[in-house]
Structure 1
Amino acid sequence: MASSVCAVMATSSDSRWCMASLRSALPSVPPPSSSTSLRLPLAATLTSASSSLSSSNSLRIAPPKHKSVLGTFTGLAPQHPLFSYSSSSEFTSFGHCFPTIDNGGRVYAMRHGRKVPKLNRPPDQRRALLRGLTTQLLKYGRIKTTRARASAVRKYVDKMITLAKDGSLHKRRQALGFIYEKQIVHALFAEVPDRYGERNGGYTRIIRTLPRRGDNAPMAYIELV
């Protein structure tokens, strides 16, 4: 077999190939509807060797299977590649990327017009931080913190003072639900009417100071007026 292949390579190096001979040498592909057996044509010099070949050297061509690699595109965003083979209706549209509005449901979109500072914290930790800063400011009258935190806690301190100016039981319970120490709430409701009775807003001031050593964060004092 090896000698016959070498003979073919030798004859092919001597004579040039033409397109007609190449086309005649190519096998004819049957239609994909039925599976057939195909034998590759051999050169004239391999006629003696082709008789010794067994039927196991024949190629079996099966009809192509049309399998969709990716799922269909049915929404604004394509399906996630991990769920492309899932037949569930949950991943057949853009609903898993952009939840729709459904009677008060959450919508994941950009925060246009939302002026709430996040302070690099999740909502629960951010609320706890603001409650702690408000409690400390009402307790000591003046604290030092970063400018971002001072600007964020300012409106909460003003709100607590506004609740204390009303002086009702409902407002006192609202303040007790926000301020950590109960004694501070009672002292606030006792002193605010005399101190801020004639003042409408602007109960705190922010004084900028030197940056913090280490991370160079802008610092500020926030105090009661």
Structure 2
Amino acid sequence: MAAFATATPSPAISVSPWSMSSLRAALPSPTRASPAGKLRSSFSPAAAATAASVGCLSSFSGLTPISPLLSLGEETSSFEHRLFGIDARGRIVAMRHGRRVPKLSRPPDQRKALLRGLTTQLLKYGRIKTTRPRAKAMRKYVEKMITLAKDGSLHKRRQALAFIYEKHIVHALFAEVADRRPFI
């Protein structure tokens, strides 16, 4: 490392020695071999002599695919045009998955208890002060409780009783939503 850091830059590298263009210029250009040349089923001495004269060692080709069937063309060499990608932790994924549940910096049991408590308080007081991420996460459960109350069946009432902490809030919610429903 010390020899590299103190060495003078070559005439081909006129920019900063740490820029990406200078590093690309220092690497040998990638050469693509035909797929038939790489996948030989039998050994022939004539082909081995030809390969030895041309040079057996192929240059470093970076993240280019081994099989040319996976590439869409010579001009596309980034992961946007590939069949797969690599996430931040180095795992290979086939497609991008969004985060399904807001984490709220809590383990799942505490997160569920927090959302149950916030939902109970909102249905009890009508208005509460909380943070925006908690309010966005809580909206799903409040709307579900209102939807359960719109149906009004015994099963839906028991589902709401299992989620909301205070029993009288569930009965008041079901009574109020039933009063607002138009009779057909």
* TM-score, normalised with respect to structure 1: 0.37
Choose 1 or 2 for highest CA Rg. Answer: 1
Structure (1/2) with the larger strand percentage: 1
Bigger relative CO (Cα 8 Å, ≥ 6 apart)? 1
